[in-house]
Every structure is written in structure tokens, then in C-alpha cells.
Amino acid sequence: NPQKYEELTPEYKCNCSTLKMKKSLQSLKMNDIEDLFEKQQEVEVVCHFCGKKHKFKREDIIKKNA
């Protein structure tokens, strides 16, 4: 006898996070980071996959002990 399984609907879930976006910004060269914040107080990074917006201030990205 064939088994009957519950029907499931596929669902997309993005695993982006504020921490991942922060780390990606921190991986930029310091000159590039300074250039970003020279023109604006806050930088918005939008996830390419889900569209979630992550906002950062200069002090969020530049490490205090660097």
C-alpha cells in the first residue's frame, strides 16, 4: 500500500541578519567606510534576497579599539 504524506507548501526563508550585514560593512577598507559616512549620518544596507533593510551609524561599524 502506498503511504500518503501531508502536503507541504515550500517556503523561502532568508537567513540575513543585522550582524551579518554589519560584518560585511566592516570588511570594507577603512577609506571606503569613511567615504560612506562622509555624506550621510546613517547607511542603509538592503538584503539582496529578502529586501530587509538594515541601518547603521558610523559608530556601529568602526571598531572602538581599531
15-66: pLDDT as tens digits? 999 999 999 999 999 999 999 999 899 999 999 999 999 999 999 998 754 4
Contacts of 43 (CB under 8 A, 6+ apart): 25, 36, 37, 55, 56, 57, 61
| pLDDT over 70 at 4, yes or no | yes
Cα dist from 21 to 14, 25, 44, 52, 54, whole Å:
13, 6, 10, 11, 7
Return the SS3 of 18: helix
